[in-house]
A and B are shown apart, each in its own frame.
Chain A
């Protein structure tokens, strides 16, 4: 009578009984298959001849079809430089923009977590209004931009001097944080055309610089968002102790806070790197030949004759390989318990 209960109810709190356990593992296996199968498919397709790619699908090399290296040879040997250049571009643009975004973003997050900012609402509004006025003057009335900027700054300072005392309401760190994060809520593609025109004006289209600047700007809010919580979790005692010992703010930031925020830094870097590496739309707008990145190359395999899956598969594999390797390598650094032993036990 009670023997079947052993299969459904667990004996101890942290354990699963046999049948629930089997169901869990079955579901996990199913989901793993759904997630990993596309990777397997891409890998196998890169070794297929064009005729093998057509319907019906062929799953197993040496059994369903004979593998061949023609696609690999084409991508690496025949195209050679045409493959290497976008790959190098992706590497440069993604790593430099990630580095900049993480460096600047973590300093902003640290400042917001430690220092109390109280910008007056009146100052903020007057700044925005004067900026708008200056822009209108430059665009519609053809005022020289240097003159417009100087006049706007002078008016702003005079305004602050005269009315500053009356500006009572002020914003706080929470408002600044929200403002920074809200910039990422807007999809970057909405600003794609203005960004294009801007870079065209300064002659930076189709350069590394344009992509690096753009990616850094759109990913900065994400870094601030992630790192703020990590910095807020580091006990202030550590910094106060270092302060009493004579360390400067920068020394405290670089020598004590950053090492303790390592898990957060690595997580943020990885996320931003993946975003920059996979970014397609803005790269499409801002680059043509010289600064083309890998996602564009992959999409370009969609030739007039129809999608060339075999070439695409090779490109996809070399595209995801570095990110995959980096994630596996960095996983052990996202370790818990780094703060054990600093505070009370």
Chain B
């Protein structure tokens, strides 16, 4: 089942929260809407669900125009951030609810509930109430309730945000496997870029109501379209240094670096990832000069934070690295591993 968003916008009075988002989700695809709080991703999801009206634009599900169709007739199932479990019903009753509304036969309901509960490993919890379950279990009840309907599209609004880190990792894998096994088109909203990178077939990055880049996780990581996307994806985030570009050479307070962009430009921002740079001698040619600010042992690697001309640079080094705080060092990065962005607009220079 495909989902097509055709320049959908949403305004609340004079305030526009979503500007002309166009998106085309293929059948069976896992599409993630990624962005910081307030970027309009949840609004977009709710518009697809029909819980918010569309100010302008069209939404199509499987070729059918559903812009004005009531939520219950769109054949979608949604998992809410708060799970939205009915506290006065047991797990079995919660899962069965969609079928009860559709007046499915009693024996049919029982069989389907048991099947779905087994799929999410909840078979021994069917008689419990939501308040007697842990966070992960409640989330699985919400998932089961969405699965049982066999909808055309799954919508998920930050379903993992209320779980602790370890459980989140586990449930991420479960979700990915489940979506692959069921093959249902899924649109997933999150602010966590790790979730986006690991779960998505494609990611739509949003900021302040505007789409920034819609691409595969690998492309977004390796070929960001602008400053925002480059800085949002990647942990630790990309390093940025302000400066000028003169004939392919980046010049800044911290030093000069050759780049892969053969042109001149006024104010630019140079970006490079922590794992793409290395520590060099302080006066090595083609490197930035700075001093060590802090050293953090992560476990399998060390993160060294440096101050270069008033800006912070993070470098990923091997785990046995040691040095003095305040020591002068050089930071070298290969020209083809650098990214250049216009300082004003944030657009990528190629």
Contacts and interface: CB of A to CB of B under 8 A. Distances in A.
Contact of A342 (B49, B51, B86, B162): B86
B80 A243 contact: no
Interface stretch (A187-195, A200-208, A234-242): A234-242
A338 interface: yes
A184 B66 CA distance: 46
A256 B86 contact: yes
B82 A246 contact: no
A260 interface: yes
B83 A259 contact: no
Contacts of A242: 86, 97, 101
Contact of B138 (A238, A246, A345): A345
Nearest to B148: A245
Given A243-B71, A244-B76, A345-B138, A340 B131 contact: yes
A245 B132 contact: no
Contacts of B131: 337, 340-341
B88 interface: yes
B232 to A, nearest CB: 26
Interface of B: 49-51, 71-72, 76-78, 80-88, 97-98, 101-102, 129-133, 135, 138, 145, 149, 162
B72 A245 contact: yes
Given A259-B88, A341-B133, A240 B138 contact: no
Contact of A244 (B49, B102, B129, B132): B49
A244 B71 contact: yes
Nearest to B131: A341
A261 B71 CA distance: 25
B82 A235 contact: yes
A339 interface: yes
Contact of B149 (A243, A245, A247, A251): A245
Given A245-B97, A246-B72, A235 B84 contact: yes
A133 to B, nearest CB: 37
Given A235-B84, A245-B145, 19 more contacts: A237-B82, A240-B49, A240-B51, A240-B71, A242-B101, A244-B50, A244-B51, A245-B72, A245-B101, A246-B101, A246-B102, A251-B101, A256-B88, A260-B88, A341-B129, A341-B132, A343-B84, A344-B82, A345-B135
Nearest to A240: B51
A344 B72 contact: no
Interface of A: 235, 237-238, 240-247, 251, 256, 259-260, 337-345
A342 B98 contact: no
Contact of B98 (A238, A240, A246, A256): A246
Contacts of B81: 344
Contact of B87 (A240, A241, A341): A341
Given A260-B87, A341-B130, A342-B87, A244 B82 contact: no
B53 to A, nearest CB: 13
Nearest to A260: B88
Contacts of B138: 341, 345
Nearest to B79: A241
A119 B80 CA distance: 33
Contacts of B145: 241, 245
A275 B102 CA distance: 43
Contact of B82 (A245, A247, A259, A343): A343
A283 to B, nearest CB: 38
A245 B149 CA distance: 9
Please indicate which of the listed interface residues A243, A340, A342, A345 has the most CB atoms of chain B within 10 Å of its own CB: A342
Given A243-B72, A244-B78, A237 B84 contact: yes
Contact of A237 (B80, B98, B101, B135): B80
B72 A342 contact: no
B292 to A, nearest CB: 42
Contacts of A343: 82-84
Nearest to A343: B82
Nearest to A238: B84
Please indicate which of the listed interface residues A237, A244, A246, A340 has the most CB atoms of chain B within 10 Å of its own CB: A244
Contacts of A337: 131
B76 A342 contact: no
A238 B80 CA distance: 9
A241 B81 CA distance: 11
5 contacts: A237-B82, A240-B80, A244-B78, A342-B82, A345-B138
